[in-house]
Amino acid sequence: MSSMDITLEVWRQDGPNTPGRFETIEAKGISEHASFLEMLDVVNDRLLAEGKRPISFDHDCREGICGMCGVMINGEAHGPVRGTTTCQLHMREFSMRGVKHIVIEPWRAAAFPVVQDLVVDRSAFDRVIEAGGYISVKTGQAPDAHAMLVKKNDADRAFQAATCIGCGACVASCPNGSAALFVGAKITHLGLLPQGQPERDARVQSMVAQMDAEGFGACTSHQECEATCPKGIPISVIARMNADFRRALA
Ligand code: SF4
Ligand code: FES
């Protein structure tokens, strides 16, 4: 098994109200086949053995599902591989590219304050969902598959939008700190399906209002969000959110 020696520059911040700084940490003998988070696990075991505080980072599923694990890696949200969450990234991607120096930072966005080191508070997303990202009509039993027809194209687009895992990479990579891709994905997912129609107008108005209240910036079509989204959510969901918003005000 090949191993690699890398130099990490990691953002260390003791708490939300303390100043942060970069700390240089040598990570030697890391397996190329380790995931990025496994590399951090190895580094943390060594820090603990030396009596130092380990690096705080968020994670849960470690298989690209939960959206917990995002960090900026050499200036790119989730690192250099497209369509990949931080937990799905492997160290061989760095050795293949000849990269031996890795800068790791938390998401940088006013609406995502740093909790500690690489951990940020993304509860602003939860409050946007609470504002309307659900269907509250009584749906009863699961209907027969052919009882409520949904166009194939709509079903495909709704499913694609539903793959958003709420990781926040779109916000972190946007120069405005905009959450338009995330909110657009939720509005598109529900707004394309029959069950989402009764609350469609109220949903878009309250979710957009909450998005603004949380301090996310406006979308000015930089498209960085689409480029870094690990689930390939297209910016067309933002256009749909804007169209739904105009429809709701009409
Ligand atoms: S739209 Fe993409 S980048 Fe943004 S939260 Fe959802 S999955 Fe993450
Ligand atoms: S830990 Fe769940 S998506 Fe990365």
Instruction: Answer whether 85's CB lies under 8 Å from 61's CB.
Output: no
Position 174 in a domain: yes
**Cα gap 243→238, rounded to integer Å:** 9
Number of domains in the chain: 2
Contacts (Cβ under 8 Å, ≥6 apart) of 153:
none
**Cα gap 220→54, rounded to integer Å:** 38
Please name the helix (run of DSSP H) or strand (run of DSSP E) that holds residue 48, with its range, or none.
Answer: helix 36-49
**Same domain as 176, residue 241:** yes
Contacts (Cβ under 8 Å, ≥6 apart) of 44:
54, 55
Identify which ligand lies nearest to the alpha carbon of 181: 1
Instruction: Answer whether 242's CB lies under 8 Å from 188's CB.
Output: no
Identify which ligand lies nearest to the alpha carbon of 224: 1
Residue 1: the pLDDT is 62
Position 112 in a domain: no
- Rg of the chain taking only CA atoms, in angstroms: 20
Position 213 in a domain: yes
112: three-class secondary structure by DSSP? coil
**Cα gap 112→117, rounded to integer Å:** 13
Q: Looking at ligand 1, which residue's alpha carbon is closest to its atom 1? A: 182
**Cα gap 175→249, rounded to integer Å:** 28
**Same domain as 128, residue 100:** no
Q: How far is the CA of 58 from the centre of ligand 2 (A)?
A: 8
The share of the chain scoring above pLDDT 90, in percent, equals: 92
Identify which ligand lies nearest to the alpha carbon of 231: 1
**Same domain as 202, residue 131:** yes
Position 74 in a domain: yes
Q: How far is the CA of 50 from the centre of ligand 1 (A)?
A: 37
| CATH number, domain with residue 58 | 3.10.20.30
**Same domain as 86, residue 162:** no
Domain range for 34 is: 3-105
| CATH number, domain with residue 236 | 1.10.1060.10
Position 229 in a domain: yes
Domain termination site, one of 48, 75, 105:
105
Positions in the chain whose pLDDT score sits under 70: 1
CB 157 near ligand 1, within 6 Å: no
Position 99 in a domain: yes
**Cα gap 85→67, rounded to integer Å:** 8
CB 169 near ligand 2, within 6 Å: no
**Same domain as 234, residue 198:** yes
**Same domain as 88, residue 11:** yes
Position 59 in a domain: yes
**Same domain as 92, residue 37:** yes
Domain termination site, one of 70, 105, 140:
105
Structure confidence by residue, pLDDT tens digits, 196-230:
999 999 999 999 999 999 999 999 999 999 999 99
How does 70-105 read in b/e, with b if 16+ C-beta sit within 10 Å?
bbbbeebbbbeeeebbbbbbbbebbbeeebeebebb
